Amino acid sequence: MNFLVGCKWGWMPGRLTLASLFSVVCLLSFQAAAQEVANPVATFAGLDKITARMIQFDVYIDETVQFGSLQVTPRVCYTRPETERQEETAFVEVDEITLERKVRRIFTGWMFASSPGMNAVEHPVYDVWLVGCKRETEVPKPN
């Protein structure tokens, strides 16, 4: 069977070159990234190290929730389609309200629900990490 595969020097019948293989891998990885499902709600867990209180809280995308002196704002929360290995990721911004009542950004980045210790917010008093993404929540949507 003879088929055409693109390569650096044009089209060659029946040859799979390294460049064309790389192109196929890039195309497949782009397709997988394009299939992420955006969710309107991110679920976080928070630990107050002073009181040993641990809670879960839902936050709508682009809304801010205060946990202790921290303000947590998810910008996106993605899940993969059910046909793929499940992974939930969120891009999150976390600010601290200082004793001088100033807002100080302490975290900006991706959190992974499957690896909560990898990119969790570790603060002297509070820890915050992503639990997952949701399509809906019982929390009323802010106006």
44 and 67 fall within a common domain: yes
Would you tell me how many other CB atoms lie within 10 Å of the CB of residue 116?
A: 16
Beta carbons of 138 and 57 less than 8 angstroms apart:
no
100 and 71 fall within a common domain: yes
Q: Is residue 42 part of a domain?
A: yes
Q: With a cut of 80, say whether residue 114 has pLDDT above it.
A: yes
Q: Is residue 16 part of a domain?
A: yes
The mean per-residue pLDDT over the stretch 96-124 comes to: 92
Q: What is the pLDDT of residue 102?
A: 96
Percent of the chain at pLDDT above 70?
76
Q: What is the pLDDT of residue 74?
A: 98
Distance (Å, whole) CA 80 – CA 86: 6
68 and 12 fall within a common domain: no
69 and 99 fall within a common domain: yes
Distance (Å, whole) CA 138 – CA 57: 11
125 and 106 fall within a common domain: yes
Percent of the chain at pLDDT above 90?
60
Domain encompassing residue 19: 4-34
Q: What is the pLDDT of residue 24?
A: 45
Q: Quote the number of domains for the chain.
A: 2
Would you tell me how many other CB atoms lie within 10 Å of the CB of residue 58?
A: 19
Q: Is residue 62 part of a domain?
A: yes
69 and 87 fall within a common domain: yes
12 and 76 fall within a common domain: no
pLDDT digit string (tens) for 124-141? 999 999 999 999 999 998
Q: What is the pLDDT of residue 78?
A: 97
- As to burial, measured by CB atoms within 10 angstroms (0-12 exposed, 13-18 middle, 19+ buried), residue 112 is middle
Q: What is the pLDDT of residue 119?
A: 79
14 and 66 fall within a common domain: no
Closest by CA position to 108, among listed 125, 126, 96: 96
Q: Is residue 59 part of a domain?
A: yes
pTM: 0.73
User: What integer best gives the mean pLDDT of the chain?
Assistant: 82
Q: Is residue 8 part of a domain?
A: yes
Q: Which residue has the tokens 């976080």?
A: 44
pLDDT digit string (tens) for 53-91? 999 999 999 999 999 999 999 999 999 888 888 899 999
Q: Is residue 141 part of a domain?
A: no
86 and 113 fall within a common domain: yes
